[in-house]
Chains A and B, each alone.
With several copies, the nearest count.
Chain A
Amino acid sequence: MSAQPSDTNRQIVVNDLVKKYHARSVLNHLFITMDKGALCILVGDNGVGKTTLLRILAGLVRPDSGEIAIGNSSSSREPQHRRMIGYLGHHSMLYQDLNAIENLTHYARLYQLTQAEKIVSESIQSVDLKNSQYQMVRTYSRGMQQRLSVARSLLHDPEVLLLDEPYTGLDKQGAQFLDMRLQSLHRQGKTIFLAAHRPHRLLSFASHVAWLKDGAIAEYSPVQDIPGHPDLAAYLQESA
């Protein structure tokens, strides 16, 4: 993988980002920089622009102005750039009329994974969908779809993970799996940027918290320094 640090160790760089919808700026001159290996939680009110930010980073939305870079590549047109990213959004990106295996196999092929079959089967096993792997995704419950989406976004072992409320709909065991998986990815040095509304469970192993407010990052702090940011601490406190 091409995720070698260039001169610096920066993995995600967002520079003066602006995104408008109908003249209303959702993201308004936003800056953020994340080092390789960071696990940063993105918090903020409903409709503040978390999803918009993550989708811009994933290359799915074009900003009005500003630059972004992932690793040392700033163009989402390059396949190598896209290979580095794993994105989990509000939609499952799964084909309703295919089963779990077929869905993941399709993605494995698109990412040109070798040993696709083994990887897919392990991936399904890991999110505990073995029993329903031959069922069409259309008949999955919400949590089952979310599990499969998680598996899909992790399938190609991306260097940078962009997760938009990944815990949505997961039951106890699913959430625990995701906790553990995130911790292990964090230890492996992957960079993780994760939007969540109730980040309590994540604070114990996350490295940073970013607070999106009024179109910009109002606070960006390592987790251990949160007490030094009273506003952020208060925001996180009650939302736990």
Chain B
Amino acid sequence: MNPFRDYLSAVWNILRKDLQVEWRGRQGVPVMLVFSLLVVFLFNFALQLSPDLQAGLAAGLLWVSLAFASTLGLNRSVSLEQENKAMDGMLMAPVDRSAIYFGKVLSNFSFTFLVGLVLLPVFSLFYQQNMFKPMLVLVMVLGLGAYTSLGTLLAALSIQTRTRDVLLPVLLYPLALPILIAAVESSRSILAGQPIADYQSWMTFLLAGNILFTAAGLMFFETILEE
């Protein structure tokens, strides 16, 4: 058989299993969605932001709520493998560890991206501006791609610990900060209608983040998982 096709099918099998579990009622996506909306409301309340100010904050809030929500998704995706040590079963299968990594990144990415896509029209409504711009969707793909590839790596790291259920955000948020900054900055420029040249460097930065973190995942996933 074609080894490349084998590899892809292994990735797809892992992704498919996660989709199946989600479909069977793990409720990951709905919980993430509700949570991200909650974060938005909570912040508007707790920080007592004035309406005109809020518009400028839309990009920041969008990414903060996405970052928070996707941590829930990552935790979920990890605890799924941890119950009954299902991860051990996957590790013993004749599947490349990097395929496991890619499969998990893809599943985490798709759930989070779905949440992001739903958030866009909601934000458009709340902040009275059309946020459904192709460029913004692209930023979302790049930003969430980098975020989830780093997040999956760190989630695999944190499930090995005794503090498993709470460690992930502590590890992830600060390390993901450059990604979040770049994503917020490009989103802000896009929403302000600036030309691409103004935020191109941020987008390149996001792309580099994707490459860097995926490389790190490929390099370290095996090391992290060996007991």
**Cβ of B90 and Cβ of A110 under 8 Å apart?**
yes
**Cα(A212)–Cα(B23), bound, Å:** 36
Instruction: Choose from B13, B25, B85, B95 the contact partner of A79 (Cβ within 8 Å).
Output: B95
**Cβ of B86 and Cβ of A94 under 8 Å apart?**
yes
Closest to A109 in B: B13
Q: Which residues of A contact B80 (CB under 8 A)?
A: 95, 97
**Cα(A77)–Cα(B94), bound, Å:** 9
Closest to B94 in A: A79
Interface size on B, residues (CB 8 A): 31
Instruction: Choose from A60, A80, A138 the contact partner of B91 (Cβ within 8 Å).
Output: A60
**Cα(A62)–Cα(B223), bound, Å:** 11
A-B interface contact total, Cβ < 8 Å: 81
With A95-B21, A106-B17 in contact, is A82–B92 under 8 Å at CB?
yes
Q: Which residues of A contact B13 (CB under 8 A)?
A: 106, 109-110
B interface residues, Cβ below 8 angstroms from A: 1, 6, 9-10, 13-14, 16-17, 20-21, 24-26, 80, 83-86, 88-96, 162, 222, 226-227
**Cβ of B92 and Cβ of A58 under 8 Å apart?**
yes
Q: Which residues of B contact A138 (CB under 8 A)?
A: 162
With A62-B226, A106-B17 in contact, is A93–B93 under 8 Å at CB?
no
With A91-B84, A106-B17, A110-B90 in contact, is A97–B95 under 8 Å at CB?
no
Chain A 2-59 residues near chain B, CB threshold 8 A:
55, 58-59
Interface size on A, residues (CB 8 A): 32
A sample of 18 inter-chain contacts (CB < 8 A) reads A55-B227, A58-B92, A59-B92, A60-B91, A77-B222, A79-B94, A85-B92, A89-B85, A89-B88, A91-B88, A92-B84, A97-B21, A97-B162, A107-B89, A109-B9, A111-B94, A112-B94, A136-B24
